[in-house]
Structure 1
């Protein structure tokens, strides 16, 4: 599943890439950098004005503007019918072929203390973060895999076919989710949000293994690779919106968090994809915490697996002290300022 010495495992020149949440932040910058590498890009979001601006921003960096194509789709990807419509529209625009790569970047956060969170926000977090990935992956995987499954079933109902020669491997297709630091380790104030991101990591792990079934049963199909990117905190409008509802306690616990621009996050994410990583951290802190909780996740070859294992041993010890320190901060905060999570007014 990749090594330090492997070739580019995420070639995009001439490929069509669909990015949900592609009008801002990580999605927008990923689209621009993939266009620089020769990809045709489709971005999906709710705001048509931002989508049009996004297409202009992305297309300016096309490495072959005379042949590359760009498109936007207005959609709410928190519903299954909309995700199916997006894939159908993208397929029609792409000459009858589904996109080669789908990157789910859409999502939202409402970081508040659990009992202070409006009850509808729990469903909103799951819809915008987890179910948007579930519905989009269900739609695109059916587009990629269902024709071969149906054709295989039809063939079995007729006379047996002669064993075909081993097919020439085709470029892999890629399904990419977007997680978060809190997919691995959450803390006070992120309780409404972190389960939806942890669920994405679990979805990625199980789908990654499930794709081996189709690769073995249908060797003439392009292999499907499943990845999750874990971006660092980015100074975007979304972060500003989060900070308006975030408690002082949560902000204090976040001190020391690594901040990266969306452009740098996208560059690191794409680099990880090119090296064959299935779980792609974009900062040292995220990598360290990820190694301590990888469990049965694919580790990307012997050397990367060895590195993550050793890193995990070290981080496991460090995390004991980090959890103790953060618990101490929370208890001290409660004693000094009360349970609101805000600094007590004098």
Structure 2
């Protein structure tokens, strides 16, 4: 895994992929590109009209409309029962077989200074970014891992699934952020929820080894993708509440289109990476804080380890520089995080 000599570790041709947040941004970009690779695609979101438009766009990129199938589900994935319903509906639509890949792309951000943040936003961030992943993962893994004796095998579709079971690995993918590894002023409401997503992926990745000896269930690979900043409507919403201070600290941030972010993420998945950075800066910062995370196979792990040694030293100076900028801002502009008006 993770070696440039590896085969494709993420084949999707003929397989079924479910993507939450699939009507826009990274989710839509990934859905379109996976359709181009031959996947059957299910997208999930709250807005039905956006889902319909997105599904049309995804179908336009299909490798073969004669053999591929596409479906959307309107749901609020911050609700556990909604996630269970989505997975159950997807299984029925997919001839009794659960999706082979579930990618949690849904999320939102409210980047504001801590004391200025409405208290309900802290719960919203946890619900939108972390708990949505928990609920979807729980519903999915219960379908993937429960022994056959614990689940109803009564429909014809489920009987067919049992006889023709695909034992290739299934993939559960979470979506983190740069601030999963390193946060800064103005992202306190958001960054803990994304750090929690990274921790969830790390813990589940190890826990899935418990089931690796099963001869009746495919192995489960757990990944977390860390997208770069993308110019989407979500970013516009974020910028509407960001302080000038936070925007200044972000200067130099690499911005990628959702399509390019999706391309890099899929390439990382195909190479077998469990933690998938989509930009150089994210990889460097990630390498400095890997700890006990899976490092991506021998060669990738070796490179990440060496990068981590170097970046760990560099981060000392980056933190000092960021702290100095924030303190200087307070002296020059006050405590609001906004520039003084002339």
TM-score by length of 2: 0.95
Secondary structure, aligned partner of 2:146: helix
Change (3 A) 1:209 1:149: farther
Kindly indicate whether residue 74 of structure 2 is the aligned counterpart of residue 77 of structure 1.
Answer: no
Query: What does 1:330-345 align with in structure 2 at a 5 Å threshold?
Result: 330-345=326-341
Separation in structure 1 between the aligned mates of residue 147 and residue 25 of structure 2, nearest angstrom: 35
Query: Higher mean Cα deviation, 100-109 or 297-306?
Result: 297-306
The Cα RMSD (Å) is 1.2
Give the superposition deviation at 1:220.
Answer: 3.0
Give the superposition deviation at 1:147.
Answer: 2.9
Gaps of 5+ in 1: 152-167
1:169 and 1:220 in contact (8 A); partners too: no
Partner of 1:10: 10
Kindly indicate whether residue 176 of structure 2 is the aligned counterpart of residue 179 of structure 1.
Answer: yes
Secondary structure, aligned partner of 1:182: helix
Give the superposition deviation at 1:219.
Answer: 3.0
Gaps of 5+ in 2: 152-164
2:112 and 2:241 in contact (8 A); partners too: yes
Query: Runs in 1 of length 4+ with deviation above 4 angstroms?
Result: none
Separation in structure 2 between the aligned mates of residue 55 and residue 277 of structure 1, nearest angstrom: 28
Kindly indicate whether residue 227 of structure 2 is the aligned counterpart of residue 231 of structure 1.
Answer: yes
Structure 1, residues 295-328: CA drift from partner, whole Å, max 9, x if none? 1111121111110000001101111111111101
TM-score by length of 1: 0.93
Kindly indicate whether residue 221 of structure 2 is the aligned counterpart of residue 253 of structure 1.
Answer: no
Separation in structure 2 between the aligned mates of residue 345 and residue 122 of structure 1, nearest angstrom: 30
Query: What does 1:1-346 align with in structure 2 at a 5 Å threshold?
Result: 1-148=1-148, 150=150, 170-216=167-213, 218-346=214-342
2:2 and 2:299 in contact (8 A); partners too: no
Structure 1, residues 83-142: CA drift from partner, whole Å, max 9, x if none? 000001111111111100000000000000000000000000000000000000000000
Structure 1, residues 154-194: CA drift from partner, whole Å, max 9, x if none? xxxxxxxxxxxxxx992110000000000000000000000
